[in-house]
Amino acid sequence: MTFSGISTQLSRDVEQIEHSLRQWFPSQAFVKAAKIQHYPILPEEQALVANAVSSRQHEFATGRWLSRQGLQSFGLPDQPIKMGRLRNPLWPESVTGTISHDGELCAVVLMQKHQHCEAGIGIDLVSLPQRVGRMDELAPMFLANTDELSAMAAFNLAVDPALLLFSVKESVVKAMSFQLDDFIDMRAIEIYHAGKLRFRISGNAVSADIVAATTGNYLITAIKVR
């Protein structure tokens, strides 16, 4: 495949990812995806990944760079987006947001709290060529029960159910980070179908919308907690 071919497919993936996210989230939300690169970030942000490998620094920089664009689009001053104890982004009090990156791409969604009723949002990007066929041995680490895999049929996507389930749970963790005090065992999150896809944590049901879509090379899942 030529370099131009890769660039064309990446551009299509970016467009399709943004299109899906804009369909799922309100029109006032800030939605943006971009190729992972070493974008300029603030010193306070750079310090958070100073000892990380270059690939991690580039992922982090892309997410922060996109997110700060979102904050500025809301009329907020440019400011560092620091990291919580669960490695989650710490947003300004008036904003809720989510970042995901995998493969060559990063995507962010930010919303102003006063405009929307969502308590938390989460998205997860998965590079399908890199992840397909690698989930079977990992399933015992995140599978609550085998019915969860059957529930993935509700998405009607040609994706490995285990991979789809893992991505959904990643989105759940991000969407719930606003109220989690510690890292959560993914087996404590149960995805089930009752009229629509729903989830509960440690037996407690959470009101939320769960969605998923694919592009040429990516799976994207999203959660909106009510």
Q: How many residues does the chain have?
A: 226
Distance CA 11, CA 168 (A): 24
- Model confidence pLDDT, tens digit, residues 153-186: 999 999 999 999 999 999 999 999 888 878 899 9
3-state secondary structure of 223: strand
117 neighbors 128 (Cβ within 8 angstroms): no
Mean predicted lDDT score pLDDT of the chain: 93
- In the chain, pLDDT over 70 holds for what percent of residues? 97
Tell whether the model's pLDDT for residue 118 goes beyond 80: no
Q: Are 25 and 122 in contact (CB under 8 A)?
A: no
Domains 3-116 and 124-225 share a fold: yes
For residue range 26-48, list pLDDT tens digits in order.
999 999 999 999 999 999 999 99
Q: Where are the domains of the chain?
A: 3-116, 124-225
CA separation for the pair 88, 153 (Å, rounded):
30
pLDDT at position 34 = 97
Which residue ranges are tagged as binding site?
56, 64, 100-101, 123, 170, 174
CATH fold group of domain 124-225: Ribosomal Protein L22; Chain A (3.90.470)
> Rounded to 10 degrees, what is the CA torsion of 26, 24, 86, 101?
-120
Fold of 3-116: Ribosomal Protein L22; Chain A (3.90.470)
* Known binding-site residue numbers for Mg(2+): 123
**Residue 4: pLDDT band by 50, 70, 90 thresholds?**
very low
pLDDT-derived band at 7 (thresholds 50, 70, 90) equals: confident
**Residue list for the binding site for CoA:** 56, 64, 100-101, 170, 174
In the predicted structure, residue 133 carries a pLDDT above the cut 80: no
Give the model's pLDDT for residue 86: 87
pLDDT at 120: 92
Q: C-alpha distances in angstroms, 75 versus 17, 82, 139?
A: 25, 19, 43
Please state, in angstroms and rounded to a whole number, the distance separating the CA atoms of residues 182 and 191: 20
- CA nearest 104: which of 11, 222, 214, 223? 11
